[in-house]
Amino acid sequence: MNRSKLIRFTHGACISLKELPCLDFTEFRESLLEEIAGDGRVASFFAMPADDGFDLYAILAHDWREEFALLHCRVGDVYPALTPDCPQLHLFEREIAEQYGVLPEGHPWLKPVRFHNSWVDAADIWRRDPQQHPIPGDMDFYRVEGAGVHEVAVGPVHAGVIEPGHFRFQCHGEEVLSLEISLGFQHRGLEPQLIGGPHPASIHQMEAAAGDTTIGHTTAYSQVLESLAGVEVASRAYSVRAIALELERLANHIGDIGAMAGDVGYLPTASFCGRLRGDYLNLTAELCGSRFGRGLVRPGGVAFDLDLPLQEKLLQRLAVLEPETRGAVELCFDSPSVLARFEGTGRLSTDDAETLGLVGVAARACGLMRDARLHHPVAEREFDTPVIDTDGDVFARGNVRRQEIYASHDLIRDLIKRLPEGEDQRSLGPLAADSLALSVCEGWRGEVVHVGITDGAGKLARYKIVDPSFHNWSGLAMVLRGQQISDFPLCNKSFNLSYCGFDL
Amino acid sequence: MLNMIRERLRQGHRTGKFPRQEPSLPERFRGLPEVAANLTHPQINVAVNGCPFNALSEINGKMQIDLGRCIFCADCPAVAEGALSFSRDYRLAASHRDDLRYGDDIYRLADKLNERMLKLFGRSLKLRQVSAGGCNACEADLNVLGTLVYDLGRFGIQFVASPRHADGILVTGPVTENMKSALLDTYAAIPEPKLVIASGACAIGGGPFRDCAEVNNGIGELLPVDLYIPGCPPHPFTALDALLRLLGKR
């Protein structure tokens, strides 16, 4: 293969589309499969309308080489599906089919993803009426027939205060044979809103892309614009973002461990963690006034400074919170009745995790070292203590969180101590025209990947968001196979994925 | 067992003293906005045009803010112009959509329910929560009300699993097209008489997603709203204050 046709780049690069070779489809396919076979994985894969057909872009991450590969080709409204040879593309190809009416021929599981009308004037793949809004969940669910087999349907409205989604279980007695997850209820049409931008509302929509990952998504978005504008973020702002990202991770990981403890009926840790989670959110509020980090990260830097009195305050509060957090968390991991429920439940093999392209906590719990903080820092690497576990079960996902909580405490303290002096906001000039930039941010669930493409006038012509949940929902469906249906809540909590991050 | 008791002692008693004692909120917290007095027409004009969500308008030469549209941005252009400032007052709930719009007059907080409804719900209010496109920030900070710090249960308020057990519905999110029918079905399943609460900028008016093709700009045109809780997301104390106000406990 002609390797010169592959663009290799590192995080933060701005790639001129004019210099980007357009491969023919066979070459595109072979290069992609070769990259995947050579330790690559799909970070993003999307289409964009072109004059004659559609441009396909594949961005593959090579974590240990700390680089990305970019592949580009042009297809008409039909092309041979890549999913049979590269299963981690299954949702990406379904998404493209839904957005642009481009048929991946031979896709083994071609169903709608988010239930919206096509973004372009194209024939609907599923022959639905283009004048009507599609009905969410209206698709052929996988079905198991036979004596004693029954179906359980859950959602979209769930029993708790949580986001909506539909789960369809095929069960034999208590045992789950298959779980199919149908989402899209939260679809707000985020990506099309970005076209022609960045608009004044864009940053606020990014803050709500997945509201519990505000720092993750706004950092990824800001980095895309900074790369396109050719501005390097000020080192002080870079550190403040990193601190906020760890505070977000702490709050969510602690909340998750509390929720997992609650699901197995271990109330001390559930109660303690519920309170502690709020205390970490309050630290973020000390920084920017919002418990979810609204208003903090802005393209070009951060809007709030972590001044000296606030640094002292954070360090003091952390010094109190850390032993309380350790106490609450260790109590649960030291309790035989909790471990009996966590260990061996919802197990996913390393091979399956790799095939499905899992990221973040769920991948690291299966022994896959995937952490953008380690592999793809956009500037100085500030993190070198990644955590993995190998069992791939509920315990492993809890344990990765537990160790990451302790690592985050150390990282925040270290970042505050070394906080560089200087400006925390630089103004962005116009964005480079006809360019592409990729950004990766290791949010608490996993890597948040944003890609921006500009048109000839330097306005966004396509914006692609991949929340870690987009990869990981398939992992949850997989671990339910052979589990008792009563273990679904526990397995679900151990993943704790985002509905709106998936639905966009 | 001993470990558990030891840990329990270390963690201590954490239930807050609210509402007997006012909460202490961070210095940078953005609460009830205050419109500056004596603004000139050009000043108002700049502020009105600067808001990406059309939360500001000019009425009879005075500036008005709509808390149903404001998302309490940290980088509010009107604040930069000196036309607006955010106070640390977390009490934001209102009973009527019109009450959310105010200028330099006093903001009218939510009223308590009428006598009949108070008799029914005053000591026990069960709510069904539906997220209809909410980003999980509103949802997360409602869940927090169940933790021991806020301990919603001590006021007789509880989120329940079925609309059949509920006295009202609390909606978050801008109401995506894909959640509209599930939301209306849930509402229909709640026995009469029932309450409707719109929590967060999205549920009130679409929030940052106002006028996006896939959303319905909140529940205003779909359901009869009894209580509005502004914020993006509302602080847990804002939501708690709102619910207590509704029940006449504040």
Q: What angle do CA A121, A124, A130 make, to 5 degrees?
A: 65
Classify A293 as helix, strand or coil. Answer: coil
Which residue is associated with the tokens 């329940």? B160
d(CA A161, CA A175): 27
> Is residue A155 pLDDT above 90, yes or no?
no
Strand A435-442 relative to strand A301-302: parallel, antiparallel, unpaired? unpaired
Residue A135: CB partners within 8 Å, gap ≥ 6?
A: A115
Provide mean pLDDT across the span A261-269.
94
Instruction: Give the model confidence (pLDDT) of A221-239 as tens digits.
Output: 999 999 999 999 999 999 9
For residue A488, which amino acid is it? Answer: F
pLDDT at res. B243: 95
DSSP letter string, A187-244: ---HHHHHTT---TTHHHHHHTTTGGGHHHHHHHHHHHHHHHHT-PPPHHHHHHHHHH
Among chain B residues, the shortest Cα distance to A191 is held by B212
Contact with chain B for residue A499, Cβ under 8 A: yes
Asked if pLDDT for residue A54 goes beyond 50, the answer is yes
Any bridge partners for residue A328, and if so which? none
What domains lie within chain A, and their CATH numbers?
3-105 (3.30.460.80), 190-503 (1.10.645.10)
pLDDT, position A153: 94
Please give the single-letter amino acid code of residue B125.
L
pLDDT at A1 over 50: no
Contact B148, B14 (CB under 8 A): yes
Residues near A52 by beta carbon (within 8 Å), at least 6 away in sequence: A74
Beta strands in A24-102 (DSSP E): 41-50, 53-62, 67-75, 78-80
Residues 6+ apart with CB under 8 A from A383: A242, A371, A373, A374, A377, A407, A411
Q: Under a CB-based contact definition with an 8 Å cutoff, are residues A43 and A438 in contact?
A: yes
By the CB < 8 Å criterion, does A304 face chain B? yes
Residue of A nearest to B232 (CA): A294
Contacts of B189 (CB under 8 A, 6+ apart): B162, B163, B164
List the single best residue of A99, A118, A157, A305 to mutate versus B (max B Cβ within 10 A): A157
The helix (H) or strand (E) run that includes residue A488 is helix A488-495
Rounded distance, CA A112 to CA B143, Å?
Answer: 31
Q: Does B13 touch chain A (CB under 8 A)?
A: no
SS3 content of chain B, % helix, strand, coil (to 5): 35, 15, 50
A192 and chain B: CB distance < 8 Å anywhere? yes
* Chain B interface, best mutation among A290, A330, A469, by max B CB count within 10 A: A290
Rounded-to-integer distance, Cα A160 and Cα B128, Å: 9
Distance (Å, rounded) from C-alpha B69 to C-alpha B209? 10
* Structure confidence by residue, pLDDT tens digits, B192-247: 999 999 999 999 999 999 999 999 999 988 999 999 999 999 999 999 999 999 99
Beta-bridge partner residues of B195: B168
**Contacts by A318-324, CB closer than 8 A, 24 or more apart:** A318/A283, A318/A409, A318/A412, A318/A413, A321/A276, A321/A279, A321/A280, A322/A409, A323/B10, A324/A272, A324/A276, A324/B10, A324/B11
What's the pLDDT tens digit per position in A183-216? 999 999 999 999 998 999 999 999 999 999 999 9
ipTM of the complex: 0.93
Phi, psi of A314 (to 5 degrees): -60, -45
Instruction: Please provide the distance, in angstroms rounded to a whole number, between the alpha carbons at the two ends of chain A.
Output: 37
Mark yes or no for CB contact A298/B10 under 8 Å: no
What does the DSSP assignment read for A310-351?
HHHHHHHHHHHHHHHHHHHHHHHHT-HHHHHHHTTTT---HH
* Residue A258 CA: distances (Å) to CA of A270, A329, A385, B218: 4, 8, 24, 32
User: What confidence tens digit (pLDDT) does each residue in A406-450 have?
Assistant: 999 999 999 999 999 988 899 999 999 999 999 999 999 999 999
Output the pLDDT for position A3: 52
Answer for the pair A51, A67: CB distance below 8 angstroms, yes or no: no
What is the spatial distance between Cα B8 and Cα B96, in angstroms, rounded to a whole number?
A: 44
Q: Is pLDDT above 70 for A147?
A: yes
- How long a stretch of residues is chain A? 504
CA distances for B173 relative to A130, B130, B183, B206, B216, angstroms:
26, 9, 11, 7, 10
Q: Which of B137, B143, B209 sits opposite A188 (nearest CB)?
A: B209
Q: Pick B28's closest partner by Cβ from A164, A189, A288.
A: A288
pLDDT of residue A4: 56
Alpha-carbon gap, residue A111 to A200, rounded angstroms: 35
pLDDT in tens, A438-485: 999 999 999 999 999 999 999 999 999 999 999 999 999 999 999 999
Grouping H, G, I as helix, E, B as strand and the rest as coil, residue B54 is coil
- pLDDT band per the 50, 70, 90 thresholds, residue B105: confident
The structural domains of chain B, ordered by start, are 115-246 (3.40.50.12280)
Determine the average pLDDT of the residues in B161-180.
95
Per the CB < 8 Å rule, is B178 touching A204?
no
Within an 8 Å CB–CB cutoff, is residue A480 touching chain B? no
Provide the CB-side half-sphere exposure for B40 (13 A, CA).
3
Which region, left, alpha or beta, applies to residue A346 given φ > 0 means left and ψ of -120 to 50 means alpha?
left
C-alpha separations of A160 from A182, A472, B26, B80 in Å: 18, 22, 29, 40
Beta bridge partners of A484: A175
pLDDT of residue A380: 83
Record: contact B138-A211, CB cut-off 8 A = yes
Q: Please enumerate in sequence order all residues whose Cβ is within 8 A of that of A481, keeping only pairs 6 or more positions apart, or say none.
A: A176, A177, A178, A179
> Hey, CA dihedral for A214, A215, A216, A221, is it positive or negative?
positive
